Chains A and B, each alone.
Chain A
Amino acid sequence: DQQVKQNSPSLSVQEGRISILNCDYTNSMFDYFLWYKKYPAEGPTFLISISSIKDKNEDGRFTVFLNKSAKHLSLHIVPSQPGDSAVYFCAGATNKLIFGTGTLLAVQP
């Protein structure tokens, strides 16, 4: 059973526009959620997180929204930059991190 799902394997966006990456989960015991970014040949790096008691967390160009009733979260990047091109993983956390399959974001100049 895949507890964290990223249904879009890839997304292409123009530079300067908004990128929206989506994530759905089934485990209502997650007490927080994290987004990681991964470049080829590197390990994932932490980007932003949100506690399950909040519905929004913002850090610069990155905002994560959580809709608990829909068991859905999203990462908004605005404005998108070519350097944002990477694979983005969503993860839910209890006593461990459970990751989704990732979404490859391509930001076109």
Chain B
Amino acid sequence: ETGVTQTPRHLVMGMTNKKSLKCEQHLGHNAMYWYKQSAKKPLELMFVYSLEERVENNSVPSRFSPECPNSSHLFLHLHTLQPEDSALYLCASSRRQGGTEAFFGQGTRLTVV
């Protein structure tokens, strides 16, 4: 248990569906991140939030929409996804933005059909 909780653990959705991934941390961290892990690829950083403000958006398509309502919660809203978006989506948090140790959640395994 790293202190970062993601729900759901698994999600299957159709290309026309809208769903949301949730991440919660109670570590008192100020930065939160969304990463995507696809087979045989590096962990890809999608979004960075620092003190609830989005500070980085790594050219992620608009069908992925993050939301950070407070320092403990982070959402990833999904709509009209493509099958190639199927991947493991990982949330992480760290004390501050940058190269400090990040704590990861267990991930949401997303399958788009």
User: Which A residues fall within an 8 A CB radius of B?
Assistant: 2, 4, 9, 30-32, 34, 36, 41-46, 49, 89, 91, 93-102
Task: Please tell me which stretch of B42-50, B63-71, B75-83 contacts chain A, meaning at least 4 of its Cβ atoms lie within 8 angstroms of it.
Answer: B42-50
**Interface set of B (CB-CB < 8 Å, partner A):** 2, 4, 6, 33, 35, 40-43, 45, 48, 56, 90, 92, 97-107
**Contacts known (A95-B97, A96-B48, A96-B56); A46 close to B102, Cβ less than 8 A:** yes
Decide: B42 and A97 in contact? CB cutoff 8 A.
no
Residues of chain B contacted by A4 (CB below 8 angstroms): 42
Q: Is the CB of A97 within 8 A of B45?
A: yes
* Known A43-B2, A43-B90, A44-B90; contact A99-B101, beta-carbon cutoff 8 A: no
Q: Which residues of B contact A101 (CB under 8 A)?
A: 40-42
Assembled-state Cα–Cα distance A100/B40 (Å): 10
Contacts of B107 in A (CB 8 A): 42-43
Give the top 3 A-B pairs by smallest Cβ distance, nearest first.
Answer: A93-B99, A43-B104, A99-B43
Contact B106 A2 (CB under 8 A): no
Question: Are the CB atoms of A31 and B99 closer together than 8 Å?
Answer: yes
Residue of B nearest to A42 (CB): B106
**Residue pair B48, A46 in contact (C-beta under 8 Å):** no
B98:A41 contact, CB within 8 angstroms = no
> In the bound complex, do residue A44 and residue B104 qualify as a contact, i.e. CB atoms below 8 Å apart?
yes
Contacts of B97 in A (CB 8 A): 95-96
